[in-house]
Amino acid sequence: MRSGLMAVLGLATLMMLGGCSHFEGEWLEEGKAGPNGLMTAPDGTKRLALKFSPPLLIQYGFYSEQQHVVDETSVQKDWYFIYNSRKTAQFGEMIARREGDELMVTLNDAKPVKFTRVKGTSIFPPRVRALTQNMPAPTVEPAAPNTEPVFASTK
């Protein structure tokens, strides 16, 4: 009974610290049209996508303009925490601040990068696929040829 109560209190504490934040959801880096007509990040590279999930998990990866989804081979996961009256989130060396319906992300002292919230269908790969993508394919040994007749004669 006591351990169950401690687990509930621990989960409630995690939810208060960051689970019900203004950061939840998917965010895509603002882009500009590249020479081939596809969107790129302001510095000309692939755009970054972020996904904040409760209670304190963030996923991030590079967005594929041709397929309109995040490249599943680029997806990374990390923990984030929230401070400054739930207005600021930090993951690694990146600091994210909400400004209206936009997210401004800075790395060290660099110029902030603007992200907009993704609405509608998710751009991240499903969790099941992401969890199994690095698992080796199962191997199947060929069966020995059957030398006995399928139906035996009863005569």
pLDDT, one tens digit per residue, over 18-40 is 444 689 999 999 988 877 777 77
> Which of 112-121, 132-141, 144-153 is the most confident on average?
112-121
Angle at CA 99, nearest 5°, toward 70 and 25? 35
Residues 6+ apart with CB under 8 A from 130: 59, 72, 75, 124
Q: Could you tell me the fold of the domain covering 20-132?
A: Lipocalin (2.40.128)
Instruction: Quick: pLDDT tens for 92-106.
Output: 999 999 988 899 999
pLDDT at 15 over 70: no
Lowest mean pLDDT of 9-13, 74-78, 86-90, name the range.
9-13
Q: Specify the higher pLDDT residue, 142 or 14.
A: 142
Residue 126 has a pLDDT of 85
Residue 147 has a pLDDT of 57
Closest CA to 29 of 44, 49, 45, 56: 49
Half-sphere exposure of 114 (CA within 13 A, CB side): 9
Closest CA to 51 of 103, 88, 11: 103
Average pLDDT, the chain: 78
